[in-house]
Amino acid sequence: MDRFGPSNDQCSQCGLYHPPLRPGEKCPMAKEKTTDGKEINLDNFLINMKNIMVANIKKNHIKDIQKFSGHIIVALNKVIETYKE
Give the pLDDT confidence of 17-42 residue by residue, as tens digits.
999 999 999 999 899 999 999 999 99
Is the backbone of residue 61 left (phi > 0), alpha (psi -120 to 50) or beta? left
Q: Which amino acid is at 58?
A: K
Higher-confidence residue of 5 and 20: namely 20
Q: What is the pLDDT of residue 8?
A: 76
**CB hemisphere CA count around 79 (13 angstroms):** 6
Question: Would you give the DSSP letter of residue 40?
Answer: E
Q: How many CA atoms lie within 13 A of 35 on its CB side?
A: 0
pLDDT digits (tens, 9 = 90+) for 47-80: 999 999 999 999 999 999 999 999 999 999 999 9
pTM of the model: 0.65
